[in-house]
């Protein structure tokens, strides 16, 4: 897993959600499941550019932060369901950051790159047609298929 419950708790005040309380809602079991789901989403988005799971220390710290913020948003969504809450700019930025890394706008500094040619990112198509300098049939007379006044 990219993030842990302790990482997620760092984004949430303990008055809102305290993972050390055995009766906390959502439970730590639920949150662990959500971490796995967030990590799968992260891997699926980054798999076109990077070898997943991400393992480089610098890149892992970035992905860990994104994972923890995504799950923190989900916890807040459950705790405040039906209520209007304002999320910090940092929490809101998590998915935007993930999309930027997946699009190649940002780079993960020490994550192994796939070089752009993979099953997920096949690269440019290979030209399989011959390169003809002249049309070999240019001297053949051809009746026009469409012409003005033709009756169908």
Question: CA 8, CA 25: separation in Å to the nearest integer?
Answer: 14
> Domain range for residue 12?
5-103
- In this prediction, residue 134 carries a pLDDT of 73
Of 13-22, 49-58, 85-94, 141-150, least confident by mean pLDDT is: 141-150
Q: Does some domain include residue 109? A: no
Q: Does some domain include residue 143? A: no
- In this prediction, residue 126 carries a pLDDT of 57
Q: Does some domain include residue 13? A: yes
Q: Does some domain include residue 22? A: yes
Q: Does some domain include residue 125? A: no
Tokens 């906390």 -> residue: 24
Q: List, for residues 79-107, the tens digit of each pLDDT value.
A: 998 888 888 888 989 999 999 999 888 99
Partners of 113 in the beta sheet? 50
* Tokens (6 digits) for 108: 């993960």
Helix runs in 4-150, H state only: 5-9, 28-46, 57-79, 89-103
Question: CA 49, CA 131: separation in Å to the nearest integer?
Answer: 32
Say yes or no to pLDDT of 127 above 60. no
Question: CA 56, CA 62: separation in Å to the nearest integer?
Answer: 10
How many domains, the chain? 1
- In this prediction, residue 17 carries a pLDDT of 93
Q: Is 137 helix (H, G, I), strand (E, B) or coil?
A: coil
Q: Does some domain include residue 90? A: yes
- In this prediction, residue 75 carries a pLDDT of 95
Q: Does some domain include residue 16? A: yes
């Amino acid at each position: 897993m990219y993030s842990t419950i302790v990482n997620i708790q760092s984004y949430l005040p303990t008055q809102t959600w305290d993972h050390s309380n055995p009766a906390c809602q959502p439970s730590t079991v639920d949150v662990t499941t959500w971490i796995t789901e967030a990590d799968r989403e992260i891997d699926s988005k980054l798999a076109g550019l990077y070898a997943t799971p991400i393992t480089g220390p610098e890149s892992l710290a970035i992905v860990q932060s994104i994972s923890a913020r995504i799950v923190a948003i989900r916890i807040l969504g459950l705790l405040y369901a039906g209520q209007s809450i304002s999320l910090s700019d940092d929490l809101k930025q998590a998915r935007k950051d993930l999309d930027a890394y997946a699009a190649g706008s940002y780079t993960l500094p020490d994550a192994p790159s796939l070089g752009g040619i993979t099953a997920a990112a096949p690269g440019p198509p290979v030209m399989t047609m011959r390169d003809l300098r002249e049309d070999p049939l240019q001297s053949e007379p051809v009746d026009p298929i469409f012409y003005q006044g033709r009756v169908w």
